[in-house]
Structure 1
């Protein structure tokens, strides 16, 4: 019968202590370094990768949302600025006709009867109101007489010689042009000086 108070064998105690030390320092029981990876480290790395991926997806979604908002705002602004373009184009001919009616009236209105005078006054007021409405909505008239021809805003209908103006100068306006903000509604129909002395090639004074 064994004695319960018998002290533990010295060899058993040393082995137990060596096992604990090996665990503390990452050593196997035979004293070699344990190189096996802790499965918890692999799980942590996996979770960190998932977090990084989700973060990247969230940032991309946020950027897409911001781009969509900006594009929507830009399209809304464009629509607001140019919504009147179609209506304005339809009214341009009416404005031209009012101007032609006034230009066809006699210069000396004193010779006209009261009814005709009142009619012309009414036409003038109508034209003024129409131009005021155009201006209110960002529509501006192009009156390029005397300016250098610009194909972006002018349409050349014919050329005139011997005008005394540099070549390419607008010498006659058949119909004014119009722009809506920075967008062309209708090019001004013009006559352009042909020949002459181009502005970029003025004659050199040789009398000195």
Structure 2
């Protein structure tokens, strides 16, 4: 016959004992694992934060640069179209021979003076918007700003000197809007060492 007599020596766990067991500190190995996991999560979050801050700084700088470029170069297409007007004004003035100008008076002189004034005003307006006309005559040929159209034999000036400007060039900010079309000297003494960005015509 099986003895079903309860073990009176065994004391049942009270609710307080069970709660105390739940709150007991985990084993030392579990503590180390939990700490390592928390440190890994912290390092990951720190890395994400630093990457986000770097991305935001790069975005801020890029946006500032794009805004500055838009402010400087936003009128590029309009300015390039306006150059035709400047060219036509210059051609109109150059079509009047110097000797004819000397003998002009009355309405004809007023017309020529008016065209000159219009050209000056147009160039000043372009300059206010960052567009500047190049004046390369007498300067060393620079392939970044000039386009050589022909060579002019001349032994009296350094080789590669701009002797004639066929069409004026323009820059906007630090970019070439249109290179100056020029004729360069050939056959003279060797030019001095080029500055940064300079060079000889091909």
Q: Name the TM-score, length of structure 1 as normaliser.
A: 0.73
Change (3 A) 1:67 1:123: same
Stretches of structure 1 lacking an aligned partner (at least 5 in a row):
1-35, 202-208
Q: Contact 2:161–2:185 (CA<8 Å) still a contact in 1?
A: yes
SS at match of 1:199: coil
How many pairs are equivalent? Answer: 166
Q: Contact 2:130–2:173 (CA<8 Å) still a contact in 1?
A: yes
2:131 to 117, 129, 139: 139
**1:76 Cα offset (Å):** 1.5
**1:72 Cα offset (Å):** 1.4
C-alpha distance in 2 between matches for 1:149 and 1:44: 70
Stretches of structure 2 lacking an aligned partner (at least 5 in a row):
1-26, 194-202
Q: Contact 2:155–2:189 (CA<8 Å) still a contact in 1?
A: no
Q: Which residue does the alignment assign to 1:117?
A: 109
Q: Name the TM-score, length of structure 2 as normaliser.
A: 0.75
**1:173 Cα offset (Å):** 1.0
Q: Contact 2:154–2:188 (CA<8 Å) still a contact in 1?
A: yes
Change (3 A) 1:41 1:185: same
**1:196 Cα offset (Å):** 2.3
SS at match of 2:184: strand
Structure with higher RCO (Cα < 8 A, 6+ apart): 2
Q: Which residue does the alignment assign to 1:86?
A: 77
**1:157 Cα offset (Å):** 0.8
C-alpha distance in 2 between matches for 1:106 and 1:169: 26
Change (3 A) 1:74 1:46: same
**RMSD (Å) for aligned C-alpha atoms:** 1.9
